[in-house]
């Protein structure tokens, strides 16, 4: 249906590992402007074939060699080893969206799953956006700790595991510091798909219990988070890698964060987003989501994105501060904020590019600030795991110099019930 040579000219990505993500979005924007003319026609054709208004022109595109693949291929990375991105045009029929159930699937035309029968869901999402006053200033906090498995990772898992079902895959592997593993295990259980989850040995016992109770095979790996990533790598050569950092469908789930914020702020983008930055799965998802909204003419500008890292493990903050193009090797130390302690973020260059492109910055917070924020949040009735409190500590830092008029959105990413031992220890120290 589409001239491939012409498409190729529309994707002149910068070659190089993980490079060209912003270029990718820009050129995809130009390309999609042309295909917009075809959209009405294509949607009616899809409906004729039982699809629900999903753009059929979507393509997996390698960020290293620019090769393109059909979304029907069972690929989580390019054969050249590069990261795959997804060229996909989202549509936002507001009047239809308003009438749908309050779940992340209400943005159906913006989620790259072809058939409704493929959808694996617990009716998750559309989490409350509540105001919180901090240092005398108001911030909007998205309550993503209220997802079915207790963290925002369900956004990515719902969409990624739906894609797994659509591809007819029956076994997946994943590695995680805990929460992504819980989410992939739960949605695998929902879909009757076998999952094997690799985690660092020192992961919170609550998360380990949760993963196992969903029926996943748990692989506890001694050493660092990076040792766990290396251990899963071999398994991923045989089984489909439902990875929250490699697999692009995860990001097309986390992008729904942006759509919900936009709707909850009465169809407007905030000025600033303050988000965690470990592997950056929520941060990059939000960046993709707001770009899609801009491309569809729903907003004029994307928000400034501020990424929060732990000062015990802050390679992105260091790259930003020192103006580096590549993510530096760092000596990571243990931190209470286990979920953002990622020394080698897979899409690190994309995260760095996204933050720069948005006019944002990185902040880093230490464990004392994490504890203070955790106690503050609990005192206001929000029970968080320490990694989630780290983002709040970043908000607190940011507010010292913020404009009083600025509309700021941040997030509670994980529930406190996952980290009872750590929280008991923090209480014991008070
Ligand atoms: C509760 C919580 N918050 C934040 C993060 C950081 O997310 P990301 O690695 O996507 O930046 C994680 C990751 O596991 C998490 O579990
Ligand atoms: Zn490639």
Residue 282 Cα to ligand 2 midpoint, Å, equals 24
pLDDT in tens, 140-191: 999 999 999 999 999 999 999 999 999 999 999 999 988 999 999 999 999 9
Half-sphere exposure of 118 (CA within 13 A, CB side): 21
232 CB-contact burial (10 Å; exposed 0-12 / middle 13-18 / buried 19+): buried
Pick the CATH number of 129-151+250-429 from 2.60.120.560, 3.40.50.300, 3.40.50.1100, 3.40.50.800: 3.40.50.1100
Query: Is 371 within 8 Å of 429 (Cβ atoms)?
Result: yes
Instruction: Specify the pLDDT at position 98.
Output: 98
Query: Which tokens belong to 86?
Result: 């997804």
Asked if the model's pLDDT at residue 45 lies above 70, the reply is no
Query: Is 381 within 8 Å of 368 (Cβ atoms)?
Result: no
Taking CA atoms only, the protein residue closest to ligand 1 atom 16 is 339
Strand spans (E) along 215-324: 217-221, 240-241, 272-276, 304-310
Measured CA to CA, the distance from residue 125 to residue 148 in angstroms comes to: 9
Other beta carbons less than 10 A from residue 140's beta carbon: 18
pLDDT in tens, 323-373: 999 999 999 998 999 899 999 999 999 999 999 999 999 999 999 999 999
Measured CA to CA, the distance from residue 285 to residue 178 in angstroms comes to: 19
Rounded to an integer, the average pLDDT of 39-50 is 34
Ligand closest to Cα of 79 equals 2
DSSP 98-134: HHS-SSGGGGGGGS--S-GGG---SS-----EEEEEE
CA dihedral 104, 108, 112, 113 (to 10 degrees): 90
Query: Is 316 within 8 Å of 362 (Cβ atoms)?
Result: yes
Instruction: Specify the pLDDT at position 203.
Output: 86
Instruction: Specify the pLDDT at position 113.
Output: 96
Residue 20 Cα to ligand 2 midpoint, Å, equals 13
Ligand 1 atom at minimal distance to the Cα of residue 277: 11
Least confident of 38-47, 187-196, 281-290, 329-338: 38-47
Query: Which tokens belong to 280?
Result: 């950056």
Measured CA to CA, the distance from residue 363 to residue 391 in angstroms comes to: 10
Closest to 207 measured CA to CA, from 388, 414, 386, 419: 419
Ligand 1 atom at minimal distance to the Cα of residue 145: 1
Instruction: Specify the pLDDT at position 240.
Output: 97
Instruction: Specify the pLDDT at position 24.
Output: 59
Ligand 1 atom at minimal distance to the Cα of residue 280: 11
Taking CA atoms only, the protein residue closest to ligand 1 atom 1 is 414
Other beta carbons less than 10 A from residue 198's beta carbon: 23
3-state secondary structure of 325: coil
> Residue 337 has what DSSP assignment?
-
Other beta carbons less than 10 A from residue 60's beta carbon: 23
Taking CA atoms only, the protein residue closest to ligand 1 atom 7 is 278
Residue 31 Cα to ligand 2 midpoint, Å, equals 20
Rounded to an integer, the average pLDDT of 25-39 is 48
Instruction: Specify the pLDDT at position 22.
Output: 59
Could you tell me if residue 381 is left (phi over 0), alpha (psi between -120 and 50 degrees) or otherwise beta? Answer: left
Rounded to an integer, the average pLDDT of 394-398 is 98
Q: Ligand 1, residues 281, 314, 374: which to mutate, most atoms within 8 A of Cβ?
A: 281
Instruction: Specify the pLDDT at position 17.
Output: 41
Residue 276 Cα to ligand 1 midpoint, Å, equals 6
In which band, very low, low, confident or very high, does the pLDDT at 57 lie, cut at 50, 70 and 90? low
Residue 63 Cα to ligand 2 midpoint, Å, equals 7
Rounded to an integer, the average pLDDT of 312-321 is 98
Measured CA to CA, the distance from residue 259 to residue 289 in angstroms comes to: 7
Residue 120 Cα to ligand 2 midpoint, Å, equals 29
CA dihedral 220, 223, 226, 231 (to 10 degrees): -40
In which band, very low, low, confident or very high, does the pLDDT at 117 lie, cut at 50, 70 and 90? very high
Q: Ligand 1, residues 147, 153, 255, 354: which to mutate, most atoms within 8 A of Cβ?
A: 153
Ligand closest to Cα of 18 equals 2
Greater pLDDT, 223 or 125: 125
Query: Which tokens belong to 47?
Result: 């409906």
Pick the CATH number of 153-247 from 3.30.9.40, 3.30.70.2740, 3.40.50.1100, 3.30.470.20: 3.40.50.1100
pLDDT in tens, 247-285: 999 999 999 999 999 999 999 999 999 999 999 999 999
Ligand 1 atom at minimal distance to the Cα of residue 340: 6
Query: Which tokens belong to 303?
Result: 């928000």
Ligand closest to Cα of 251 equals 1
Ligand 1 atom at minimal distance to the Cα of residue 244: 10
Taking CA atoms only, the protein residue closest to ligand 1 atom 10 is 281
* Inter-CA distances, 421 with 153, 206, 298, 336, 374, Å: 22, 9, 44, 11, 14
Instruction: Specify the pLDDT at position 15.
Output: 35
Q: Where in the chain is the domain with CATH 3.40.50.1100?
A: 129-151+250-429, 153-247
Pocket of ligand 1 (CB under 6 A): 151, 177, 179-180, 276-283, 339-340, 342, 385, 387-388, 413-414
Q: Ligand 1, residues 283, 309, 414, 417: which to mutate, most atoms within 8 A of Cβ?
A: 414
Q: What is the pTM of this model?
A: 0.90
């Amino acid at each position: 249906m589409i001239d491939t040579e012409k498409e190729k000219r529309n994707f002149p990505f910068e070659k190089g590992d993980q490079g060209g993500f912003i270029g990718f979005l820009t050129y995809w924007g130009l390309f999609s402007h042309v295909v917009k003319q075809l959209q009405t026609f294509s949607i009616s054709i899809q409906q004729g074939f039982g699809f629900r208004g999903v753009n059929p022109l979507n393509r997996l595109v390698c960020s290293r060699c620019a090769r393109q693949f059909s979304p029907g291929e069972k690929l989580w990375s390019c054969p050249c080893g590069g990261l795959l991105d997804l060229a996909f045009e989202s549509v936002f029929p507001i009047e239809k969206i308003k009438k749908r159930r309050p779940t992340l699937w209400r943005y159906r035309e913006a989620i790259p799953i072809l058939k409704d029968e493929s959808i694996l869901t617990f009716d998750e999402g559309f989490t409350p956006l509540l105001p919180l006053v901090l240092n005398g200033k108001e911030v909007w906090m998205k309550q993503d700790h209220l997802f079915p498995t207790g963290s925002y990772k369900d956004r990515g898992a719902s969409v990624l595991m739906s894609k797994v079902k659509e591809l007819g895959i029956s076994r997946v592997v994943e590695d995680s510091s805990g929460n992504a593993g819980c989410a992939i295990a739960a949605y695998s259980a929902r879909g009757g798909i076998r999952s094997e989850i690799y985690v660092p040995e020192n992961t919170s016992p609550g998360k380990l219990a949760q993963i196992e109770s969903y029926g996943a095979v748990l692989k506890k790996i001694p050493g660092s988070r990076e040792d766990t990533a290396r251990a899963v790598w071999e398994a991923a050569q045989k089984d489909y890698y439902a990875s929250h950092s490699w697999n692009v469908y995860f990001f097309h789930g986390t992008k729904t964060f942006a759509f919900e914020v936009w709707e909850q702020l009465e169809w407007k983008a905030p000025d600033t987003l303050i988000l965690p930055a470990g592997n950056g799965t929520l941060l990059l998802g939000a960046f993709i989501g707001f770009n899609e909204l801009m491309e569809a003419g729903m907003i004029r500008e994307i928000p400034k994105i501020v990424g929060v890292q732990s000062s015990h493990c802050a390679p992105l903050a260091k790259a930003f501060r020192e103006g580096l193009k590549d993510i530096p090797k760092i000596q990571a130390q243990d931190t209470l904020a286990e979920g953002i302690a990622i020394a080698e973020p897979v899409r690190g260059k994309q995260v760095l590019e996204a933050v720069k492109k948005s006019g944002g910055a990185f902040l880093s917070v230490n464990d004392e600030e994490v504890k203070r924020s955790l106690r503050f949040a609990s005192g206001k009735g929000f029970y968080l795991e320490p990694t989630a409190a780290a983002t709040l500590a970043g908000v607190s830092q940011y507010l010292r110099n913020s404009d009083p008029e600025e509309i700021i959105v941040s997030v509670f990413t994980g529930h406190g019930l996952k980290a009872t031992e750590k929280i008991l220890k923090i209480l014991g120290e008070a």
